[in-house]
Amino acid sequence: MIILPCFLTKSFVDRFYIGEVNFAMAASVMSREAAGRIYLEIMRTDGFTIDPVTGENYRGEGYGIAVSDSPELRKADTWFTPRRIQNWWNRKARFLIRDGYYIGGWFNDATDEFTLDISEVIMDRETALREGRERGEEAVYDFAHGVTISCRTGEWL
């Protein structure tokens, strides 16, 4: 039996794995409380990487990068509400979560928009930058230094 802290609710008890997909997480729906916590993080910070099971911010090293084909939720801050975040997760994002994936969110000053997507952490800088270029990403986030790095130039932004 798996017990999730109040971040996600469970739709079934047993945990099954087929390939990489963790169907316990895929079948989990986001609670209103969890959506509210993400909403507060969006309003409080410029960016975050949250574990979808525990609701805790990622604290470690490595480089955060959006997962290929991750469903993005990209809107102006006035559009974001806990309900819209909950709907994004329950209708799209939860089906792509695998072990080691996170909910990533950040504010883009250039477009004046917030973005939510599914992210992963890659430990090696060059691998992360190469993956970023292959996935069409503009940048990766360096957790150790707290900076964003351009996938094109490898320079801090």
Residues 35-83: pLDDT tens digits? 887 888 777 887 889 887 677 788 899 999 998 877 788 877 667 788 8
Q: How far is CA 5 from CA 56, 73, 89, in A?
A: 10, 24, 17
Q: Please give the span between the terminal C-alpha atoms of the chain, in angstroms, as a whole number.
A: 44
Q: Give the closest residue to 97 by CA, choosing from 22, 19, 37, 34.
A: 22
Give the three-state DSSP class for 109: coil
pLDDT score for 78: 66
pLDDT tier for residue 133 given thresholds of 50, 70 and 90 = very high
Q: Which of 27-31, 118-122, 134-138, 152-156 has the lowest mean pLDDT?
A: 27-31
Are the beta carbons of 37 and 103 closer than 8 angstroms? no
Does this model's pTM top 0.75? My answer is no
Residues 3-29: pLDDT tens digits? 333 333 333 223 333 333 443 444 467
